[in-house]
């Protein structure tokens, strides 16, 4: 069985009254299918499928908006929004079994980067 190590680091001296220094690491067990780091252009014309809802299982999903001006909406194939990813921002989260994931650019087409791995 393969593993994927996820690490989140949040630090700030100005976000709260106390200094923020949070580091969380997890080793995730993964299996096939997966999609390695991929790039595509997301348009405003229609929702574009990134994870097919017909493929069963929970997927760990990475997404980065490479655009410098416009945001992208990530949502399930049932139109439930997961996230609004601004210019240069990224997200990492689990996509629930059977929900799939779609993306739509808000104002203009955006180049994006994404990948996903099936939870074992």
Class of 35-119 per CATH? mainly beta
Domain residue limits, the chain:
35-119
Tokens 């601004």, located at residue: 86
Q: State the pTM of this model.
A: 0.93
pLDDT digits (tens, 9 = 90+) for 67-78: 999 999 999 987
Tokens 């200094």, located at residue: 19
Whether the predicted pLDDT of 11 surpasses 90 = yes
Query: What letter would DSSP give residue 66?
Result: -
Whether the predicted pLDDT of 80 surpasses 90 = no
Tokens 């299982």, located at residue: 57
- Say how far apart CA 41 and CA 111 lie, in whole Å: 4
Token pair belonging to 64: 């980065």
pLDDT: which is higher, 2 or 45: 2
What's the confidence (pLDDT) of residue 94? 95
């Amino acid at each position: 069985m393969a593993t994927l190590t996820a690490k989140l680091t949040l630090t700030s001296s100005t976000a709260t009254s106390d200094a923020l220094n949070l580091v969380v690491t997890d080793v995730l067990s993964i299996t096939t299918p997966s999609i390695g780091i991929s790039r595509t252009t997301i348009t405003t014309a229609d929702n574009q499928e990134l994870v097919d809802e017909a493929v069963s299982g929970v997927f760990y999903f990475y997404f980065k908006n490479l655009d410098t001006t416009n945001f992208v909406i990530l949502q399930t194939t049932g139109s439930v929004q997961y996230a609004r990813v601004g210019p240069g921002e990224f997200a990492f989260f689990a996509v629930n079994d059977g929900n799939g994931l779609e993306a739509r650019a808000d104002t203009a087409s955006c180049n994006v980067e994404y990948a996903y791995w099936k939870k074992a």
